[in-house]
A and B are shown apart, each in its own frame.
Chain A
Amino acid sequence: MMKTDWMFEPDSRHFVLEDYEAALARWCPGCGDHAVLNAVQKLCRDEQLPPEQTVMVSGIGCSSRFPHYMKTYGFHGLHGRALPVACGVRSRRPELNIFVSTGDGDCCSIGTAHWIHALRYNMNMVVMMFDNRVYGLTKNQTSPTSPKGESSNTHPQGAFLSPLNPISVCLSITNASFVAQTVDWNPVHLYETIRAGFEHQGLAFIRIFQRCPHFTDHAFKEFKDEPEKVLLMTHERGIPVNDTVKRVFTNSMQHDPADIDQAHKLARRDDVLPIGLFLRNDQSERYDEYTKRGVNMSNGEKLSALNRELDRFAI
């Protein structure tokens, strides 16, 4: 590739989509996960992220297979524990691009403690929570986001309780800095949301309504069939929307992501499905600003500091 000054740069690289494509995704045909994978690969290409500088971290579940399908570094770890790992990766590696894929069970059930604290740590990363309202990989059990009355193998007579609202939880966490919601069936809004999350400095939490054709095909049907039931939140500091998005989602409103009270109200709406950016706070503290301190200290500095500490115990 040529630079603008027409000097040939033998080491410069230009990445195309194939550079991010690994094993063929083994998700079911029609699974919303494919759409997210496409969006992330496109983002990597558009941002020209060197694959070796990019780390995909996940837990366990259908969506947590994500790293295997990206030709970057990946960490497919334990159920519910993607976030502590991702925070550990981030702690001493400020230069890496970190994406986390997690599901409604992984994040909002077994990993709840980490979810809450990771939002508070606010370390720079994109967290994509694939919400299909069901445990898919283990074959159809109720998830914390399953609607009341939803039938599953663990609740054949229907879920007893109303679902947990992940957005309300996120908005209530001290220091949360970016909370968004999008849907897998609109590639443009999906892409723009992940992109905005990537550009955000801090932890960007994105709940993605994701269709599971096998177990919860019906879950989002009404929103897909009747797009006016989707409420498009727009704002100059929100998720950018182009004309195609506006044409599909005609029901839209201005929401300032700095308005936390309105964000809470919107999160609680059950007559419509709000998509866009609920909350953005660029002033939130970032724990990674602290954890990276001293990363470049030389051995000489370390040894002389250690020597002084040993002096304190000297006899």
Chain B
Amino acid sequence: MIFTPAVLRSEWTKVRSVSSTMWTLASALLVTVALSAGLCALTNAQFDNLSQQDRLTFDAAGTSFSGMFLGQLAVIVFGVLVVAGEYSSGMIRTSLAAVPQRAAFLFSKLAVATALAFVVGMVTSFASFFLGQALLGSHRTGIGEPGVLRAVFGAGLYMTLIALFSMGVAAMLRSPLLSLGILMPFFFLISTILAAVPVAKDVARYFPDQAGQKIMQVVPSSDGSAYGPWGGLGIMCAWVAVALLGGYLVMSRRDA
């Protein structure tokens, strides 16, 4: 039995008793909602200046999640600090002395932090959606339209999976600086840039964020993707699974 109520309760105490949890998750929510709202308002004001093509493929739901490309960075910081913070502070030795079953320790920690990221992710996605739609004026869509609820729910899932992926990577690298130094530029720059380069595009669309973001789109993009919204989320889940497996192997094999 991997999850015991005792260890889960202990990990909940840990995650709620450091201020970085509050700061990172609050930033994720605020940045995503505020930036999405701003971009929606801007789009509404500039809609008539858009090209014919852009107007035809306009995705009202997707636009209201456009702030997530920045907000996800705060989620990454949250995931990294939850796991790698144990190593950088030396707390890991105290933690493992208390819970020597390393799989139980790691997965209880991930379960608690992921549950928290899920709640914040859902609040963020629904808030982003409704505020964004309100600001889109006549170009808005409704939650009852085909595919829209899936996109809103998916945006929350996307944030949750980003957190979990970061935790897996941090468990492998065991250093907050190293983990952030790899994850931040990857998600903020490299992935986005490669996705815009014609040749690299075909590879980049299988990156966790590029694949996962498909779930937030209601109007399919015209680039002829090999997978749909759930297929994309599946690809992202595979990345997360690999990161978690790596994290688990490092945790169980290496000296603390």
- Whether chains A and B associate is no
Interface, chain A (partner B; CB < 8 A): none
